[in-house]
Structure 1
Amino acid sequence: MTNTELSVSASTTDRQVRVPAPARFDTATEDRLARLDAEATRHVEDARPKRTRDGYAADWRAWLRFCAEADLPPAAVRSGTLVAFVEWCWHQLARPPKPGTPPKKLTAPTTIDRPLFRRRRHRPPPAQAPAAAGRRRAGPRPAQGQDQGPGQNRGDARPRPRPALLVRHMEKVAAALPENRFGVRDLALMTLHFAIASRAHELAWLRVRDVAEDPEGRGLIVDVRVSKVAPRVVEVPYGSRAHICPVRAWRRWKEEAHFDDPDGFAFRRLHNRWGTVLQEGLDAETVGDILTRIGARADLDIRPTGHSPRGLVTESARAGNADAVMERQGGWAPGSK
């Protein structure tokens, strides 16, 4: 061991001796720490929306119910138990059938994903983990015309309520996009995202085979297989404005990308320098980051996010369409506000 290593080791040991372990705090200090813990928990709970609290509580109840039926302790988070939990959720959390309807529908994958993610990370109910719930990280925005890898810049605070992307915004974006492969992909991503009023994760999970030509030549048929509510099939007609027409934009992107695998991702990452189409798909976070980036490039008066293209409902309402039409197009639950 070198002198430097000995010095570092001695310094570390000295700090460990001088800093007392939590169990060595006196009673008054422990009381103050307990009060801070309680206040932190209460602060996080007060800041979290009620729907989120209810959802997390339901996730925890589902895990406890699974553990009870499988005769397992709640802390038994192993690969085998997680696989069994997914299978259990697939059947046990399915919606019961309504009168006069077919047998009960299996649970949507996105409904299973949230409790599975929390168990995979060994997360207790939110009330027991205020520090984890309160963490936020804000990383630098990507450079113009660049993609981010999965998981980068997560935790970036986005404005709420999320602004709606409208036709006038898309026209400005289309005029500002670069004349390269990034511009071709981003225009197709934005316009198709808007045309099916999709959530970011719905667009990210689209495969090439899911975007098909209408057999009667009226545009596209998009099969949204992964959805928060339920899968849906959406008809996408030609746009009245050719420069932001989702059908034309998709065809141009498909021709530019040279897709050779129908099961590959419909929207993929591009090499930041060469613009080469990569095999990796875009995750939901990156879809939102792309919309934010191209919105900033066009100097929009809003900061679009991955949820902004659901602003289709605003344009549809202005056109006088019935609520049922909008619900089918964007996958809203019937009667949704």
Structure 2
Amino acid sequence: MTTMTETRTAVNPTAVAVADETTVDLAATERQALIERWAVRHGVDAARRLAEAEDMADAVAAEITSDNTLDTYAKSWRVWRRFCTATGLPEREGSRGALVAFVAWMLREGRQNGTGYAPSSVSTHLTAVVVGLRERGVKVSGDDQAEARTALEGLAVKLLLAGERRGRGQAVGADIDGLRAVARACPDTLTGDRDKALVLTGFHYASRSQEPAGLLADDVALHPRGLVVAVLTGKTKHSVRNAKIRYADDPEICPVRAWTAYRTRLVVEHGPRWAGPSTPALVGLDRWGHVTGGMGPDSVTRAIKRISQRAGVSIAWTGHSLRIGLASVARRNGRDGITIAEQGGWARHSRSMLGYMQRGDGWDDNASAGLA
């Protein structure tokens, strides 16, 4: 059964703000009550200053939360609302039973088409919904959330034992042979030069899709030994970095030469204004070679897939293939984890980075090799 609020939201996205008026009113009421308690405890002036500090903390939180994260929170809250509608449970209640039921429902039938989500997606939605509940003034205990995660882990194991594997799995990583195929398949056009520069440089600093999309021309600086890429749009404090990219021994797949050729051609064909320091480092181009502006994260992802398909790689790359590829190839070539982490913007001993360090068939890099 669809509620009136859901119907309005489906027709008019701006109705989301109206639907959340109760949340805003609740937050304002709770804030006022908190200020009054501070006034009793510390005096009116101190309460006012504490309230101003709270406003500043809210502003900082909003500033450092990425658009992708906000989008995830919004999507997950819609999933939670569908669950509450389907089960008749109240939206603003984060009890142990509600969270465990939410996990089970998502695995069983939570997607729009009536099928279950992959466990990784369930985990993401659970995290985001707990955040959403707390933002709406609902108390969610750590123990109740932990029990929902325990339920998720147990149910995910049962799916595996039943032979059911969900989700796309980890994206395939780029490799050196793939980079060569990409370089050879790029046409002798500005678009081809842009594609080559995007892939070759992105591989060498283990880029996420949003990182090349966020680069300005001045963020990529030539150095006597190569390039220095100032990544300023990373997801964490570790991913904001100055990544150094050296000249490659093989000119065919040299990221520095590819970048220089692309930027030179862009200025020659479209004018000196594209050499300005605040212009996009990677531009979008239509089928006729006209500049359409800077590339966004989605266009970077689509471009990487298209470029890899044109090159004939066996499995099309995704927006994460360059990031996985750097970790995998560097590990196979003897680079230590700390060096890889600094180049790619991971925390040292990051679990995701360790997961990306794919080891081929497990024979060449085998923990038990030569022990007996």
Q: TM over 0.5, yes or no?
A: yes
Label 1:184 to 1:115 Cα distance change in 2 as closer, same or farther (>3 A).
closer
SS at match of 2:284: strand
1:316 to 318, 330, 346: 330
Aligned equivalent of 1:257? 266
2:229 to 222, 225, 233: 222
2:67 to 96, 113, 118: 113
Deviation at 1:90, TM superposition (A): 5.4
1:207 to 216, 221, 224: 216
SS at match of 2:298: helix
Cα contact 2:66–2:235 (8 A) shared by 1: no
SS at match of 1:253: helix
Return the alpha-carbon distance in structure 1 between the equivalents of residues 77 and 320 of structure 2: 28
1:193 to 198, 202, 210: 202
Cα contact 1:195–1:312 (8 A) shared by 2: yes
Structure (1 or 2) with the greater helix fraction:
2
One-letter amino acid matched to 2:275: D
Total equivalences in the alignment: 227
Return the alpha-carbon distance in structure 1 between the equivalents of residues 67 and 204 of structure 2: 26
Cα contact 1:208–1:263 (8 A) shared by 2: yes
Label 1:68 to 1:203 Cα distance change in 2 as closer, same or farther (>3 A).
farther
Are 1:291 and 2:269 an aligned pair? no
1:39-188 mapped onto 2 (5 Å cutoff)? 70-71=31-32, 88-89=57-58, 91=60, 109=64, 111-114=65-68, 116-117=70-71, 124=77, 126-129=79-82, 134-135=111-112, 159-188=168-197
Cα contact 1:89–1:112 (8 A) shared by 2: no
Cα contact 1:184–1:253 (8 A) shared by 2: yes
Deviation track 1:1-47 (CA, whole Å, cap 9, x = no partner) reads: xxxxxxxxxxxxxxxxxxxx979xxxxxxxxxxxxxxxxxxxxxxxx
Label 1:86 to 1:229 Cα distance change in 2 as closer, same or farther (>3 A).
farther
Identify unmatched segments of 5+ residues in structure 2. 4-23, 34-53, 87-109, 114-166, 268-273, 352-372
Aligned equivalent of 1:270? 285
Give the aligned CA root-mean-square deviation in angstroms: 3.5
Q: More relative contact order in 1 or in 2 (CA 8 Å, sep 6+)?
A: 1
Label 1:68 to 1:245 Cα distance change in 2 as closer, same or farther (>3 A).
farther
Return the alpha-carbon distance in structure 2 between the equivalents of residues 165 and 117 of structure 1: 28
Label 1:118 to 1:260 Cα distance change in 2 as closer, same or farther (>3 A).
same
Return the alpha-carbon distance in structure 1 between the equivalents of residues 264 and 326 of structure 2: 26
SS at match of 2:171: coil
Cα contact 1:267–1:281 (8 A) shared by 2: yes
Deviation at 1:64, TM superposition (A): 10
Q: TM-score, normalised by structure 1?
A: 0.59
Q: TM-score, normalised by structure 2?
A: 0.54
Deviation track 1:71-101 (CA, whole Å, cap 9, x = no partner) reads: 59xxxxxxxxxxxx996455358xxxxxxxx
Identity of aligned residues (%): 30
Cα contact 2:202–2:212 (8 A) shared by 1: yes
Return the alpha-carbon distance in structure 2 between the equivalents of residues 242 and 90 of structure 1: 48
Aligned equivalent of 2:346? 332
Return the alpha-carbon distance in structure 2 between the equivalents of residues 293 and 312 of structure 1: 20
Return the alpha-carbon distance in structure 1 between the equivalents of residues 55 and 319 of structure 2: 27
Aligned equivalent of 1:306? 319
Aligned equivalent of 1:281? 294
Return the alpha-carbon distance in structure 2 between the equivalents of residues 125 and 67 of structure 1: 23
Cα contact 1:257–1:277 (8 A) shared by 2: no
SS at match of 2:77: coil
Return the alpha-carbon distance in structure 1 between the equivalents of residues 225 and 196 of structure 2: 20
Deviation at 1:289, TM superposition (A): 0.9
Label 1:170 to 1:134 Cα distance change in 2 as closer, same or farther (>3 A).
same
Cα contact 2:284–2:294 (8 A) shared by 1: yes
SS at match of 1:212: strand
Return the alpha-carbon distance in structure 1 between the equivalents of residues 220 and 278 of structure 2: 11
Return the alpha-carbon distance in structure 2 between the equivalents of residues 90 and 251 of structure 1: 40
Return the alpha-carbon distance in structure 2 between the equivalents of residues 271 and 134 of structure 1: 35
Task: Indicate the larger mover: 188-197 or 175-184.
Answer: 175-184
One-letter amino acid matched to 1:225: L
Return the alpha-carbon distance in structure 2 between the equivalents of residues 22 and 194 of structure 1: 46
Aligned equivalent of 1:46? none
